[in-house]
Amino acid sequence: MSLKKWQELSRKVLIEKFGRGIEKVVYRMPDNSERDYYLNIVGSHFICILAITKNDEVILAQQFRPGPNEILLELPGGGIEKGEDPLVAAERELLEETGYSGKMEFVTRVFADGYSPLYRYCFVATNCEKIAEQKLDETEYIEVILKKLPAFREHLRSGKLTDTETGYIGLDHLGLL
């Protein structure tokens, strides 16, 4: 049997609040049965940045995350606003969340996960310097933490990072793995 794309029969947003939601999609399967799938949706695609200072320190955003119910050290990132170029979004999010700016470079685009139609745009920023104070959204409470590359590599392996792909892709892109 050769794999074929499933036939989409219907699609309906079940709940959407604060730019996040769940969408029910009904598919006709290869065996002709019908199955419901529930997709994670967000209002827009999003970006994530592996940002490194001039002193070879990775810039991390320490914040509480409701999904895992933990305070995590994460890479800076966020949503792409309607009509916004991903590169502009990456520069904006890095500055807003951390106060840092640097030479921004697009690396690749990856699927958010197998149950979402969204993409994560992966960037690296090098030679970063602090040029401003944070400008956080009303629901953001972020402490900026700097980690040397060896400590960041350990953190990547810890499983306590939500954007592991961007970390590894960025390090590989920069020849720092």
| Residues 73, 145 within the same domain | yes
Domain-located, residue 94? yes
pLDDT confidence of residue 67: 83
Which two structure tokens, joined as six digits, stand for 136?
Answer: 């956080």
Contact criterion met (CB below 8 Å) for 168 and 79: no
| Residues 84, 11 within the same domain | no
Per-residue pLDDT tens, the chain, 177 aa: give them.
Answer: 688 899 999 999 999 887 778 999 999 999 999 999 999 886 678 999 999 999 999 999 999 998 899 999 999 999 999 899 999 999 999 999 999 999 999 999 999 888 888 899 999 999 999 999 999 998 899 999 999 999 999 999 998 998 999 999 999 999 998
pLDDT confidence of residue 1: 65
pLDDT confidence of residue 86: 98
Residue numbers of the domain that contains 20: 7-42
> Residue 44: what are its φ and ψ, rounded to 5°?
-155, 170
pLDDT confidence of residue 20: 78
pLDDT confidence of residue 42: 66
Distance CA 167, CA 157 (A): 10
| C-alpha distance from residue 169 to each of 21, 67, 172 (Å) | 28, 24, 5
Q: What is the CATH number of the domain that holds 160?
A: 3.90.79.10
| Residues 110, 82 within the same domain | yes
What total of structural domains would you count in the chain? 2
Distance CA 44, CA 79 (A): 6
Maximal C-alpha separation, the chain: 58
| Residues 69, 153 within the same domain | yes
Q: What pTM was computed for the model?
A: 0.89
| Residues 78, 129 within the same domain | yes
Domain-located, residue 2? no
Distance CA 117, CA 1 (A): 26
**Would you say how long the chain is, in residues?**
177
